Amino acid sequence: MKSIKLLLLLTSFVFLNGCSNKKLQSSNTHVPYEFSILQLNDVYEISPIQGGKYGGMARVETVHQDLLRKNKNVLLVHAGDFLNPSLLGTIKVNGERVRGKQMVEVMNAMNFDVTAFGNHEFDLSYKDLQKRINESSFDWISSNVLHKISGKKERFYKETIGVKKDLKDTYIKEFTFGENKTLRVGFISVCIPSNPKDYVHYGNIYENIKRSYNELKPKVDIVLGLTHLSIDQDKKIAEMLPELPLIMGGHEHTNSYDYVGNVAIAKADANAKTVYIHRFKYDPSAKTLTFKSELKEINDKITSNVKVSTIIKKWQDILNIKIKEVVDNPEEVIYIASEPLDARDTPIRSIQTNMGDMITRSMSYAYNNEVDCALVNGGSVRIDDVLSGDINAIDIFRVLPYGGAVLKVNLTGALLEKVLDYGMSSAGTGAYLQRYNVNKVGGKWMIGENEINKSKEYSVAFSDYLLKGFDIPFLNEKNKEVLHIYEPQKNEIAYDIRRATITYLKEL
């Protein structure tokens, strides 16, 4: 009798335990797979900006590590533009310009997973770009940019220990959950064809992203976009690919979050003033995805990661040595911009901006305003960003990284008019001229309130680069209508355009 009761008890235990396991297994199939993506775009500076208040890659790494502590399934991605422009990139170390080496070193230390090509990556020569790709430990993707060499179009590649490996159109990340459970997340990418170079072939962005999407989709559970395009181009892609849940984009420098149908398009602020954190939940049974996006400000309330800070300090010490050759206190706040100063590439090379006005006023100030006008080529301004709030000397070096003297040039009114016409016709390029005290009114060029007299002699403050004839071929010291050139001495404000700008801003 006892044996029968024992047998019944054991049978009940096995049955109940089996039911319990089945219930657990059944419920597990409905437990969503959770992962996160930390998105950056258009980051040129590894250190904090605006007097240290915002940005800083060491602070971003703190946010990254916090996410990893909560869930190991985190991706760190960059939507393009990080090798240039930067102040550090212009300086020489051991006789060679840095050209984004500092950014790759920091991104390697942060364990970035994948980056899109941005148009500013191609500011570098092919030789320098190849060095940066080879140095990187992360993946690079784009389906529409190819290396153009000897009339042929080939994939860009990464060479590691003598082994060349082609870069891919797409990227796949496989996450693991528990035992034998995986989730494959794929990324597609294209780059805006706004920076033509003889070593780059840009394929059609829409044809190529559609092709890469169709090739990738059968291989993964989820497809996401990681693009470097204008917002209008991203919106068109969202219309083309309505099943794409999220496009993480770059190129614009101001944060935005848009929807086209069910497709979200997220862009953070430039220079890591903000980042996006996307938190995903994927139901493996229903094969459905939900996510929430958080725009997180990177500010001085976030502590800096020690490992990344050490690398940044090394580069910052190198930079400070160079800056102190021109100004004594690089960190000093010299101006508070209540209205943002626009130094973005497109405006500064196309229209008169308040940043261009500020620089050219500084050039005139360097000569005690004893010149008729001041001119600088828009291409001298390299920051491709806006400045607001506290501005220090380092910010001005970021705006004008190449420096150079402000020259006082006497020339004929006829040549001055010709120079101004050339600059106006060059809108959209680096030869477009930012101006002070000279404007075109009713088809006539005016110095102050007076029309330029072609036979009169004028005194103009020029950036020294312009007198080299690179942007305006006929503007050089050999032109007979260039009557006199004064080159400032080292102790003069005009000796360096950055010193002139800093000194002027401090006086306001």
pLDDT, one tens digit per residue, over 362-374 is 999 999 999 999 9
Helix (H) or strand (E) holding 10: helix 2-28
Q: How many helices (H) and strands (E) does the chain have?
A: 13, 29
Instruction: Find tokens 């054991």 and name the residue.
Output: 10
Q: What is the CATH number of the domain that holds 435?
A: 3.90.780.10
pLDDT above 90 coverage of the chain, percent: 81
The number of distinct structural domains making up the chain is 2
Alpha-carbon gap, residue 56 to 53, rounded angstroms: 9
pLDDT digits (tens, 9 = 90+) for 413-446: 999 999 999 999 999 989 999 999 999 999 999 9
User: Running DSSP on this structure, what letter comes out for residue 121?
Assistant: G
pLDDT over 60 (residue 247): yes
Q: Are residues 260 and 347 in the same domain?
A: no
Q: What is the pLDDT of residue 223?
A: 98
Query: Is the overall model pTM greater than 0.85, yes or no?
Result: no
pLDDT tens digits for range 256-285? 999 999 999 999 999 999 999 999 999 999
Q: Cα separation of 442 and 424, whole Å? A: 14
Residues 409 and 267 in one domain: no
Same domain, 262 and 355: no
DSSP string, 270-283: GGGTEEEEEEEEEE
Residue 40 and residue 107 in one domain: yes
Asked if 334 and 222 sit in the same domain, the reply is no
Mean pLDDT, the chain, rounded, equals 92
50 and 89 both lie in a single domain: yes
Tokens of 485: 């050139």
Q: Has residue 219 been placed in a domain?
A: yes
Tell me: do 275 and 361 sit in the same domain.
no
Task: Please give the residue range of the domain that contains residue 144.
Answer: 31-297
CB 38 within 8 A of CB 63: yes
Contact 399, 504 (CB under 8 A): no
Q: Which of 253, 275, 297 is the last residue of a domain?
A: 297
Q: Does residue 302 lie within any of the structural domains? A: no
pLDDT value at position 251? 93
| Separation of alpha carbons 493 and 136, rounded Å | 41
Domain with 289 in it: what CATH number? 3.60.21.10
Beta strand segments in 27-149, E: 33-40, 74-78, 92-93, 96-97, 114-116, 139-141, 145-149
Can you give the pLDDT at residue 323?
A: 86
Q: What does the pLDDT read at residue 2?
A: 42
In a domain, 80, yes or no: yes
**Most confidently modeled of 11-15, 360-364, 400-404?**
360-364
Residue 22 in any domain: the answer is no
What percent of the chain shows pLDDT beyond 70? Answer: 94
Beta strands in 284-394 (DSSP E): 288-297, 333-342, 373-377, 386-392
- What does the block give as tokens for 50? 């605006």
Would 337 be classed as within a structural domain?
yes
Which of the listed residues 297, 314, 344 is the one where a domain comes to its end?
297
Q: Which backbone phi and psi does 278 adopt, to 5 degrees? A: -110, 120
Residue with tokens 């004929």: 412
Alpha-carbon distance 310 to 105, whole Å?
Answer: 11
Is 407 within a domain?
Answer: yes
pLDDT of 15 over the 60 cut? no
**51 inside domain:** yes
**What does the H/E/C string look like for 162-231?**
CEEEECECEEEEEEECCCCCEEEEEEECCECCCCCCCCEEECCHHHHHHHHHHHHHHHCCEEEEEEECCH
Closest Cα partner for 64 from 54, 52, 78, 50?
A: 78
Whether 24 has a pLDDT exceeding 60, the answer reads no
pLDDT of 17 higher than 90: no
Element (H, E) at 132: helix 126-135
Which is nearest to 79 in space by CA: 199, 227, 294, 261?
227
**Looking at the structure, do residues 267 and 342 belong to the same domain, yes or no?**
no
Quick one: 282 and 136 in the same domain?
yes
CB-neighbour burial class of residue 485 (10 A; exposed 0-12, middle 13-18, buried 19+):
middle
Give the SS3 label for residue 476: strand
Structural domain contains residue 464: yes
C-alpha span between 213 and 481 (Å, rounded): 59
Sequence-distant (6+) residues with CB within 8 A of 377 are 423, 430, 431, 432, 433, 434, 463, 465, 466, 471, 472
Q: Contact at 8 Å (CB) between 263 and 286?
A: no
Sheet bearing 406-412, strands edge to edge: 433-436, 373-377, 457-463, 406-412, 482-486
Instruction: For residue range 43-72, list pLDDT tens digits in order.
Output: 999 999 887 889 999 999 999 999 999 999
Residue with tokens 């007097």: 51
Do 353 and 245 lie in one domain? The reply is no
Q: Residue 235 — very low, low, confident or very high, per pLDDT cuts 50/70/90?
A: very high
pLDDT at 341 over 50: yes
Task: Indicate the pLDDT class of residue 206, thresholds 50, 70 and 90.
Answer: very high
Q: Residues 6 or more apart from 299 whose CB is under 8 A from it? A: 53, 54, 59
In this structure, the answer to whether residues 483 and 350 fall within a common structural domain is yes
- Give the pLDDT score at 382: 83
What secondary structure does DSSP assign to 393-462, as a single string? HHHHHHHSTT--PEEEEEEEHHHHHHHHHHHHHTTTSTTPEEEESEEEETTEEEETTEEPPTTSEEEEEE
Same-domain pairing of 138 and 99: yes
293: three-class secondary structure by DSSP: strand
Question: What's the confidence (pLDDT) of residue 19?
Answer: 40
